[in-house]
Amino acid sequence: MEEQVIEHFHRSIQAKMAVGEQLAPTVATAAKSLSETFLNGGKLWIAGFGASQHLAAHIHYCLSHGLNFERPTLPVLLLNDTPGPFVNPDRLDGQIYSRQLNALADSGDVLLVVSPGDNPEPLTQAITAAHSRNATSIVLTGPGDSLLTTQLNANDIELSSGANNQLRNQEIQLLIIFCLCELIEQQFFGGSAP
């Protein structure tokens, strides 16, 4: 069992090393885009689906409360996929996020999507809604997100994990999230890594 644990660590390190240099410029561009959005009075909308919901909640928490130190909250909103007790489950469809964006997003906002890597319809619909509101999208994709990526336009940013499985995909996406949050904190508050 100990050898299996060591092998898990090695595979994780190898997967991150394989995409690190390739992703670095795009992650830096995404952080700069988000910083400019906040400077211009825009908001960041965050959506995750399925296994990626916890990652979306994590980036929301880090940007709301601080990653490395306590600081003022940035204008970030986590899109909710919990309909509440009074909603008929038969009425839920792929537009659970897009409805919120169509009602509340403004031109100049950014939608950050964290996908588990299986083209979830609510995320593709959210990207379409963001475009209809003149908002750009930053999309963390995984294996099997070919339909999701066809929704992107020239102003959007794709951050692909390059991983072939769910576990590696989520590990790399979490590291991307930490990088984005840290770069934004440095930009706004002069913070540095611990």
For residue range 100-130, list pLDDT tens digits in order: 999 999 999 999 999 988 888 999 999 999 9
DSSP 145-171: -HHHHHT--TT-EEEE---SSHHHHHH
d(CA 168, CA 99): 31
pLDDT grade for 83, boundaries at 50, 70 and 90 = low
Tens of pLDDT, residues 68-81: 888 888 999 999 77
Closest alpha carbon to 157 in 136, 172, 174, 175? 136
d(CA 191, CA 183): 9
Model-level pTM? 0.89
**124 burial via Cβ count (<10 Å: 0-12, 13-18, 19+):** buried
**45 burial via Cβ count (<10 Å: 0-12, 13-18, 19+):** buried
d(CA 73, CA 23): 27
Tokens at residue 104, please? 């509340």
- Residue 148 in this model has a pLDDT that exceeds 60: yes
Q: Are 188 and 38 in contact (CB under 8 A)?
A: yes
Tokens at residue 188, please? 């706004």
d(CA 74, CA 63): 6
**For position 68, what pLDDT does the model report?**
80
Domains, the chain, with CATH or none = 2-81+94-189 (3.40.50.10490)
